[in-house]
Amino acid sequence: MFFLKILLEILFIIVPILLCVAYFTLIERKLLGAIQRRRGPNVIGVFGLLQPLADGFKFLVKEIVLPSNANKFVFLFSPVFTFIISLMGWAVIPFNKYSVLADIPLGLIYLFAVASLGVHGIIMSGWSSNSKYAFLGALRSASQMISYEICVGLILATIATIAGSYNLIEIITAQESVWFIFLVFPLSLIMFISMLAETNRHPFDLPEAEAELVSGYNVEYSGMTFALFSLAEYSNMLAASALMCNLFLGGFRSNASVSYKAYFFFGDFFFPLKLLIFVVLFVWMRAALPRYRYDQLMNLGWKTFLPLTLTYCMLLFSCLYTFKLYSV
């Protein structure tokens, strides 16, 4: 009975997330169409609302092509592994005070550890494909994600120090009077840009650059194996947006400046509205910015973000220690 209860709780989280991921693709295509002054998907269903279902059915019935020289077990296991890892992080993300699968004390550490595992699926896919383009894309992704994870780890440690806890609900509660985005605005900007790099999105989508790598690490994939990589990418984007909301915008709580009447009308809709802000920003970056060169990507991470993050964190820790405001 206990395992059935856990299974139902997992399904209650995973099924809505998969629906959100499916319609995230529709929102992205509609927004890109609006930005580029053209119509988005508008044929399948009313206003194109059934387009994600049609795309999913297309991937489901397409043939999965196995390269003759590939390591077939690792080749098929890689997209499944990547997809599962992308869903594991949602276990500790709170949607409201009572809607969280695992309210663990070290929620931030768990999220950081799970995010670090995601690169393994891409490395396995690039190596097992036995393709130079796929392998080069996998190497790019590994170095890119490792480079920006250092900055992300420092920022997470800073937020945990300010809040006095690694638990996400306690971090949200600590923002009852003021959101952390007003206290550490430079770190929130660096965190958002690092999340773009972590999720391989524009302008840092170099691991899957179509121009020089012919789609990169997933070039040999088709059908549902390709769809699993796509679902994992969009799930990671939503998880990154949810993490940004919880760390800097107060999560499911309203700010103290929001009136009780507004909270009565919107209630639990604060979290989806904040999430939508970062979703639109992810799409906007894709439409507005050109792709970086690889040396520019590495220089930005190691020569700009890392010194800035270290300096800001040391300054903040010094202030907290001097005025005895720390609690970790």
Q: Are 173 and 327 in contact (CB under 8 A)?
A: no
Q: Are 206 and 297 in contact (CB under 8 A)?
A: yes
pLDDT band at 266 (very low <50, low <70, confident <90, very high): very low
Whole-number percent of the chain with pLDDT over 90 = 1
Q: How far is CA 313 from the centre of its chain?
A: 23
Among residues 102, 105, 211, 101, the alpha carbon closest in space to that of 165 is found at 105
Q: Residue 33 has what pLDDT? A: 87
**Where is average pLDDT lowest: 27-31, 192-196, 198-202, 250-254?**
250-254
Phi then psi dihedrals of residue 4, to 5 deg: -65, -40
pLDDT band at 268 (very low <50, low <70, confident <90, very high): low
pLDDT band at 167 (very low <50, low <70, confident <90, very high): confident
User: What is the chain's mean pLDDT, rounded?
Assistant: 82
pLDDT (tens digit, 9 = 90+) per residue, 294-316? 888 888 888 888 999 988 888 88
State which of 60-69, 185-194, 269-278 shows the largest mean pLDDT: 185-194
Extract long-range pairs of 102-110: CB within 8 Å, 24+ residues apart.
103/167, 103/169, 104/167, 105/165, 105/166, 105/167, 106/166, 106/167, 107/166, 107/167, 107/168, 107/169, 108/156, 108/159, 108/160, 108/166, 108/167, 108/168, 108/171, 109/166
pLDDT band at 60 (very low <50, low <70, confident <90, very high): confident
pTM (predicted TM-score): 0.85
For residues 34-49, give the mean pLDDT.
83
Q: Residue 326 has what pLDDT? A: 54
For residues 103-118, give the mean pLDDT.
86
Q: Residue 71 has what pLDDT? A: 85
Q: Residue 209 has what pLDDT? A: 66
Whether the pLDDT of residue 293 is over 60: the answer is yes
